[in-house]
Structure 1
Amino acid sequence: MPEKPVTLRDIWQARKRITSISEKTPLIYSPGLSEIAGTSVHLKLENLNVGGSFKIRGAANKILHLTEEERKCGVTTFSTGNFGMSVAYIARKLDIHATICISNRVPKAKVETLKRSGAHIEIYGDAQDDAEKRSYQLEQEKGLTVIHPFDDPDVIAGQGTIGLELLDELPEIDTVIGGLSGGGLHSGLGIALKSTDPEIQVIGLSTAKGAAMYESIKQGKPVSIQENNTLADSLLGGIGINNRYTFNMVQQYVDQIVLLTEEEFAQGIGFMLSKHRMVIEGAAASGIGAILNHQIPLGSHVVVIISGNSVDMPVILDVAERYTCNKGEGLL
């Protein structure tokens, strides 16, 4: 069991703490998606956050919790891209040295953004587990503080602030959908939403090409699995064999986990580009892809978390070519 459970009070405190770094993001109604779904669907635009994803929230809450001595020594994290960009942004803003560890599997667009961030970048191994190993080596070698991208109470509380904003703007919400990887987002959402109403459905979507949390839940314990290239690269990465928090929280708070195909991620990207004129990454498109293909049960007031916007331009060009309104694609 967690040594430090995350409470609703923690999330409210995180909301107050991070306001200097992370602003409230828009919640918009999607007419096209609502028509297809036959119910009211809103989009929570975390892609408009500073750093381009929801992960700025958890990173900010954690780093703002550090002692002065920890800040002086510097920080390190391991990431599939988005969390690293958030840590790099905050570290630069607060004049903290940061080392971001990533694997060779991180897409070029994210690597280039990280290289421009001012942080030191280390590319190590072929999976997030390898990058994690390097981060903890740096902790031992240089005294850096590891900022865990999801399995940390402060990070979970920061991500949970999304749930508070949803309740502010759409108190009738009964279903929330988003990409599920390490579980920090869904753990925070689960606490915020189900503390208000346990009947609110929290649904996680993962890639069939490396769904570590899904496989861990199936086997009843954290397990490692092989990663494969996917449009939803942000959903890759292990949950840690010694996972302390998010495995238990996902078991407790997530009502359903669904695996999606590459085609469904692509359709979600294409829909957002065509109908809302926004570029989003594959993980962010998971909820849209699931709804387009009727993969999940929906309530009367549904919110899809649009989690981030970091995607290689060739991917967008390919999706734009395949999924446009004038090509007769039935879903779009």
Structure 2
Amino acid sequence: MDYGITLTEIETARENISGTVVRTPTVPSLSLTRHAGVPVSLKLEHTQVTGSFKLRGAANALASLSEAARTKGVVAVSTGNHGRAVAHAAKVAGVKAVICLSELVPANKVDAIRALGAEVHITGRSQDEAEKEAMRLEREGMTFISPFDHKDVIAGQGTLGLEMLEDMPEVKNVVVPLSGGGLLSGIALAIKARRPDVRLIGVTMSRGAAMYESLKAGHPVEVEEVESLADSLGGGIGLENRYTFAIVRDLVERCLLVEEDELAEAISHAYREEQQVLEGGAAAGIAALLSGRLKPDGPTLLVLSGRNLDMDQHCRLVCGGGAAAKEASNA
């Protein structure tokens, strides 16, 4: 089926972003391999320049701008990581960037975006409310770069899929954090084009999972956005979704939900057993594996998508256990 984004465009995106984005490592996990009983490896995308995978899509979108669009600048709406990526890519490209955020975005992510020189607009209590401000700026002439439902962004995220197949050609299951679906869509398009036998599995939090609820309904739906350890997975998918809903619906075998305490345990496991600092959304695949919600039957690769969490919160999670996790998720 034609989804409007081709393998050739993903391969072109890899060329476009090569000077801005690093190729992140794929490493085996001895602890998760013991737990699962099959080989498990980790794609360390949280070690990306801006601390998350989002830079791939943002850099490709900036590289694809016309000269007129570059002059007028770009605007993005974000739960934090996309905004940081757009701010970084725009700074590298010499383009003005405005990032629209809701009041739920953690202060550490807001500060990081400002530090990159972007203009920050904080509006409302949800990503949908922040998006209204971004749409206003788009009407005034700026180019809107969607955090997920944008073909250049999806193609950029798809470069991860190319790397993972090259690093782990024997892979049977690929597990990806799921929010608006840009990451999972790009990876799915790249992998299915080359290895249709590989199974794609999305994992998201149980609190306010827009894509999960949309897939259940058979069409994009709105959900209430609530606080979660997986704040980077929050927000809607857009009722007029053009790309990611159909791609996830058609190419992804399963979508799983994980609970807040399971996310907390996964963050702690990543630190203690893997020596990796992860934000809640990035730990979703580990949470699914440790909880038994995911029981893979062959070589499995988990995408660790970001590390941009408040380090005081991280300390509470890895040192305080369940009580601290509950406190952090309700903070």
What is the TM-score of this pair, normalised by structure 2? 0.95
1:279-330 CA deviation, whole Å, 9 max, x = no partner? 1100000111111111113132111000000101222111121359xxxxxx
Cα distance in 2 for residues equivalent to 1:151 and 1:26: 26
The DSSP-based 3-state class of the residue aligned with 1:195 is helix
Letter in 2 for 1:38: G
Distance 1:277 1:21, change over 3 A: same
Displacement over 6 Å in runs of 4+ = none
Superposed CA RMSD in Å reads 1.3
- Supply the distance in 2 between the matched residues of 1:206 and 1:303 (Cα, whole angstroms): 16
1:25-44 superposed matches below 5 A: 25-44=24-43
CA drift at 1:278: 1.9
| 1:102 aligned partner, one-letter code | L
Report the alpha carbon displacement of residue 207 of structure 1 after superposing the two structures with TM: 1.1
- Contact 1:271–1:323 under 8 Å retained in 2: no
CA displacement at 1:276 relative to structure 2 = 2.0
Determine the structure 2 residue equivalent to 1:45.
44
- State the one-letter code of the partner of 1:229: E
Query: Residue 282 of structure 2: SS of its match in structure 1?
Result: coil
Q: Deviations over 1:136-156 (max 9, x none)?
A: 101113x11001111011111
Q: Does 1:265 align with 2:270?
A: no
User: Are the aligned partners of 1:186 and 1:253 in contact in 2 as well (CA < 8 Å)?
Assistant: no
**How far apart, in 2, do the equivalents of 1:71 and 1:167 lie?**
34
User: 1:33 & 1:315 partners in 2: Cα distance?
Assistant: 24
> How many pairs are equivalent?
322
Aligned equivalent of 1:191: 189
Matched residue, 1:330:
none
Q: Retained in 1: the 8 A contact 2:36–2:295?
A: no
Q: Which amino acid aligns with 1:157?
A: A
CA distance in 2: counterparts of 1:278 and 1:322, whole angstroms:
17
Partner SS, residue 17 of structure 2: helix
One of 306, 314, 317 as aligned partner of 1:316 = 314
Give the unaligned 5+ runs of structure 1. 325-332
Match of residue 13 from structure 2: 14
Q: How far 1:263 moved relative to its partner?
A: 0.7
Any gaps of 5 or more consecutive residues in structure 2? 323-331
Matches within 5 A, 1:247-326: 247-323=245-321
Letter in 1 for 2:249: Q
In 2: Cα distance, 1:235 partner to 1:178 partner = 11
Residue in 2 that maps onto 1:224:
222
Distance, in Å, in 1 between the alignment partners of 2:216 and 2:94 is 43
Structure 1: distance between partners of 2:33 and 2:320:
22
Equivalent AA in structure 1 for residue 292 of structure 2: H
For residues 175-222 of structure 1, give each alpha carbon's deviation from its aligned partner in whole angstroms, at most 9, with x where no partner exists: 011210000111111111111222211111111111000111111111
Instruction: Decide whether the 8 Å contact of 2:177 with 2:284 is kept in 1.
Output: yes
> Please, what TM-score do these two structures have when normalized by structure 1?
0.95
Q: Which secondary structure state, in structure 1, belongs to the residue aligned with residue 104 of structure 2?
A: coil
What's the secondary structure of 1:101's corresponding residue?
strand
Deviation at 1:171, TM superposition (A): 0.6
Letter in structure 2 aligned against 1:59 = A
Q: Does the CA-based 8 Å contact 1:183-1:247 persist in structure 2? A: yes
